[in-house]
Amino acid sequence: MFTSVSLMSLLRSLVLDLDLDLELDLELDLELDLELDLDLELELFWSMSAIWILPLPRVARTLVLELCLLLV
């Protein structure tokens, strides 16, 4: 039979374990969300840059692309 002290310690360990699991899950979810958001923003940036870069002459287009590569 459980004493009140052992029951309380068991409950504390369960609560701590639950807190750790929740924190880890939240951190992992946030990291995944951030990575997905960053990937989407980069794709949007590159697709938007292609719209204004196409009408430029070939030399200017090459220079702009080289500058973009230097920034990355």
Domain ranges of the chain: 4-71
Query: Quick check: 53 and 61 in contact, CB under 8 A?
Result: yes
Task: Please state, in angstroms and rounded to a whole number, the distance separating the CA atoms of residues 48 and 71.
Answer: 16
Q: Is 64 exposed, middle or buried (0-12, 13-18, 19+ CB in 10 A)?
A: middle
Question: What is the pTM assigned to this prediction?
Answer: 0.27
Task: Please state, in angstroms and rounded to a whole number, the distance separating the CA atoms of residues 7 and 2.
Answer: 6
- The one-digit pLDDT tens for each residue of the chain (72 residues) are 445 545 556 555 544 444 445 454 555 555 555 555 555 555 555 555 556 666 667 777 777 778 878 876
Residue count of the chain, please give it.
Answer: 72
